[in-house]
């Protein structure tokens, strides 16, 4: 953990911020604003990440993950100003700022809205951007929380607006702290109230290697992502998540009947996101290869485990489910997507098409059995050549033997 204890801001407000570097490209922030008497007046702790999509001068679309570009600052953060208003404002990179506003009345405080501002003239963050200038995205939150309560939401809160995808989870905030003491009373978000945990499968004997239980086959789900032009991504698959922690294997079968899904489609990439009461997010990110093929490039996951911990992992250097653009990829047999040493996904009855969906239906499929056939072809050809060589050698030796026999008879 790398911690920053920052200087005094106007109004003698102290801001402390901790950046936790982990596998998932995100920030875990903890903010403690104090007044002139050094008493806490606002407390917040949360995790979030941002991805901005923009068009380049080469007519390509690029995704910028903001947290890969620098450390945050905090100018503009205040609490309990003259208008009963508190503000958390964070600048992550040049030209990118994030602001959340809070207001209050006699009995409640309101998490009003989130404002994101980014400047595409900042070439270090948005190289070769076609449209230069300041872009703003406002998202109305609208949570009303009783005073002297801390708002808590562990579930994923995804937002996708105006080319900016921003996600929030593990949120704890009390915008107007009374008497300098953060409350122990929690106001829980609706997403958490319906949450359940997944029980891990624990091996019955202690062994050096993880014990893998025998799971049931997952139910197959059907997922559709649309944009302004209609259906842009189709996916059909049964999903089984395998998590290893401390030599204990947890297996989670995705239930499509209790799983929400969303996503987005860009010219060069496509996203399918799944989430449920226990899965904060499970992202499948597809990309183009040589402009004529697509493949699964990235998987990001974060989920709540039965022991109360949050398991998170990510890999943006995958190469699965490769097929030509304009077709779909299909594999009815069980496949494994190895995301990390501690996380892999088993897929069943898989079919995906993340680009060029016509009429809301799958195009002709490239079956994964073709990969097996491609692997067998050189083996079959080699075996055939070896057989021919053996026959030639046998014919040669038989002919040679007959030739010697003819000399002996003479």
Say what the alpha-carbon torsion angle 232, 236, 237, 241 is, to the nearest 10 degrees: 30
Q: Which CATH code, of 3.90.180.10, 2.40.160.110, 3.40.50.300, 3.40.1190.20, is assigned to 29-192?
A: 2.40.160.110
How many beta carbons lie within 10 A of that of residue 350, not counting itself?
23
Show the 3-state SS of 7-36.
EEECCCEEEEEEECCCCCCCEEEEEEEECC
**Is residue 84 a contact partner of residue 103, using CB atoms and an 8 Å limit?**
yes
- Residue 20 sits at φ, ψ, to 5 deg, of -105, 120
CATH number for region 220-366 = 2.40.160.110
Distance CA 169, CA 16 (A): 20
The pLDDT, as a whole number, for residue 366 is 93
The pLDDT, as a whole number, for residue 214 is 58
Q: Classify residue 164 by burial, with Cβ atoms within 10 Å: 0-12, 13-18, 19+.
A: buried
Distance CA 401, CA 409 (A): 13
- Could you tell me which residues are beta bridge partners of residue 365? 328
The pLDDT, as a whole number, for residue 166 is 83
Residues contacting residue 152 through CB under 8 Å, at least 6 positions apart: 171, 172, 186, 187, 188, 189, 192
The pLDDT, as a whole number, for residue 22 is 33
Distance CA 12, CA 160 (A): 36
Distance CA 71, CA 84 (A): 30
Distance CA 44, CA 134 (A): 28
Domain boundaries defined on the chain: 29-192, 220-366
Residues contacting residue 330 through CB under 8 Å, at least 6 positions apart: 350, 351, 365, 366, 367, 368
Longest Cα separation, the chain: 126
DSSP 213: P
Distance CA 355, CA 320 (A): 15
Whole-angstrom CA distances from 86 to 74, 80, 96, 117, 323 are 14, 5, 20, 19, 51
**Is residue 254 a contact partner of residue 241, using CB atoms and an 8 Å limit?**
yes
pTM for this entry: 0.47
**Please, what sign has the CA dihedral across residues 344, 285, 291, 61?**
negative
Give Cα 132 distance to the centre of its chain. 28
**Is residue 348 a contact partner of residue 218, using CB atoms and an 8 Å limit?**
yes
State the distance between the two ends of the chain, measured CA to CA, in whole angstroms: 96
Closest by CA position to 339, among listed 366, 304, 359, 315 = 315
Strand pairing report for 164-174 and 186-188: unpaired
**Please, what sign has the CA dihedral across residues 317, 322, 325, 327?**
negative
The pLDDT, as a whole number, for residue 403 is 57
Q: Do domains 29-192 and 220-366 have the same CATH topology?
A: yes
Mean pLDDT by 10 residues, the chain (410 residues): 32 38 54 88 87 87 69 81 84 84 91 90 88 89 90 83 82 92 90 53 44 72 90 95 85 91 91 90 93 94 81 91 95 94 94 94 86 50 71 73 55
Lookup: tokens for 241: 């998540």
Question: What residue has token string 């597809």?
Answer: 286
Lookup: tokens for 135: 């872009």
């Amino acid at each position: 953990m790398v911690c920053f204890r920052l200087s005094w801001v106007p109004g003698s407000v102290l801001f402390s911020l901790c950046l936790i570097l982990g596998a998932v490209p995100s920030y875990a922030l903890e903010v403690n604003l104090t007044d002139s008497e050094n008493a806490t007046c606002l407390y917040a702790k949360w995790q979030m990440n941002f991805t901005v999509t923009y068009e380049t001068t080469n007519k390509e679309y690029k995704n910028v993950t903001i947290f890969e570009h620098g450390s945050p600052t905090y100018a503009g953060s205040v609490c309990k100003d003259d208008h009963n208003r508190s503000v958390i404002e964070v600048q992550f990179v040049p030209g990118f700022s994030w602001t959340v506003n809070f207001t209050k009345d006699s009995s409640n405080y309101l998490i009003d809205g989130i404002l994101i501002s980014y400047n595409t003239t900042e070439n270090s963050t948005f190289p070769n951007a076609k449209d230069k200038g300041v872009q703003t995205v406002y998202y109305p939150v609208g949570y009303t929380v009783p005073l002297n309560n801390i708002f808590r939401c562990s579930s994923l809160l995804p937002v996708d607006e105006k080319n900016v995808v921003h996600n929030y989870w593990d949120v704890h905030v009390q915008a107007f702290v009374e008497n300098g003491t953060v409350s122990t009373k929690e106001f829980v978000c609706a997403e958490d109230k319906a949450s359940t945990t997944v029980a891990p499968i624990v091996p019955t004997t202690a062994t050096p290697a993880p014990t893998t239980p025998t799971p049931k086959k997952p139910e197959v789900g059907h997922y559709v992502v649309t944009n302004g032009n209609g259906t842009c991504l189709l996916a059909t698959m049964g999903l089984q998540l395998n998590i290893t922690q401390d030599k204990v294997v947890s297996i989670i079968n995705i239930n499509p009947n209790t799983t929400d899904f969303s996503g987005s489609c860009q010219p060069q990439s496509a996203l399918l996101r799944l989430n449920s009461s226990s899965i904060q997010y499970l992202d499948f990110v597809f990309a183009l290869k040589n402009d004529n093929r697509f493949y699964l490039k990235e998987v990001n996951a974060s989920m709540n485990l039965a022991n109360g911990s949050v398991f998170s992992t990510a890999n943006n250097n995958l190469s699965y489910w490769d097929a030509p653009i304009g077709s779909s990829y299909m594999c009815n047999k069980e496949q494994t997507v190895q995301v990390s040493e501690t996380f892999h996904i088993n897929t069943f009855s898989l079919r995906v098409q993340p680009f060029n969906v016509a009429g809301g239906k799958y195009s002709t499929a490239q079956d994964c059995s073709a990969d097996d056939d491609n692997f067998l072809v050189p083996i079959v050809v080699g075996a055939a050549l070896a057989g021919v060589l053996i026959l030639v050698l046998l014919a040669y030796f038989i002919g040679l033997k007959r030739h010697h026999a003819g000399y002996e008879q003479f």
